[in-house]
Amino acid sequence: MELKHDGAFYNVSPWALCWDDEKYYLIGYDNDAEKIKYFRVDKMTETSVVKAKRQGKSEFTKIDMAEYTNRLFGMFEGEEETVKLYCKNEMANVIIDRFGKNIPLYKTDAEHFEVSIKVSVSQMFLGWIMALDGVKIISPDIVVDKMKDRILKLYDTYFEK
């Protein structure tokens, strides 16, 4: 295993443990970076309990943990964006399963709907969209361009001479 940051210790106040893709993740407040981060539990080494006041409570009261973990795809972080999708009606259950029952779907015609979702735009998110037949990113342009770049890279990989 190659340790990040030359094996430096992290000072993290733990707040939640979640399960994603057969792995446990600790979600906590990184006291030095002063932000919420997540860490794969099976990759942690030399952990210890420090008797100090847990930090980050104000940050964690601002988030809905289910929503937070739903917008991270495969626990890969990216720039957070509100992304609008254009979807075939038969994809409604897939969108609801991923983002919850309270996500508003807006009918655009007899066969399609649009939905706006808040996600971390990572390669995993783009791959998830590519795997869905009948779902297209329509905004913002920066995310549409990332998808186009990803598609071109895949095309080059499979059709290069």
Q: What is the pLDDT of residues 120-136, one digit of tens each?
A: 888 888 999 999 999 99
pLDDT of residue 111: 96
pLDDT of residue 77: 65
How big is the CA angle at 38 (ends 78 and 57), to the nearest 5 degrees?
Answer: 110
What is the average pLDDT value for the chain, to the nearest integer? 85
pLDDT above 90 coverage of the chain, percent: 34
Residue bearing tokens 């917008």: 71
Residue 49 structure tokens: 């309990």
- 92 in Cβ contact with 62 (< 8 Å): no
pLDDT above 70 coverage of the chain, percent: 89
pLDDT of residue 41: 85
Which stretches of 35-121 are DSSP H helices? 57-60, 65-71, 92-99
Give me the domains of the chain, ranges plus CATH numbers. Answer: 10-63 (no CATH), 79-159 (3.30.70)
The phi, psi pair for 10, rounded to 5°, reads -105, 140
If one compares 11 and 147, the residue with the highest pLDDT of the two is: 147
Residue 1 structure tokens: 């295993």
How big is the CA angle at 74 (ends 43 and 8), to the nearest 5 degrees?
Answer: 30
Is the pLDDT score of 45 beyond 60? yes
pTM: 0.59
Q: What is the CA radius of gyration of the chain?
A: 19
Helix axes 141-159, 123-130, angle to 10 degrees: 70
Is the pLDDT score of 76 beyond 60? no
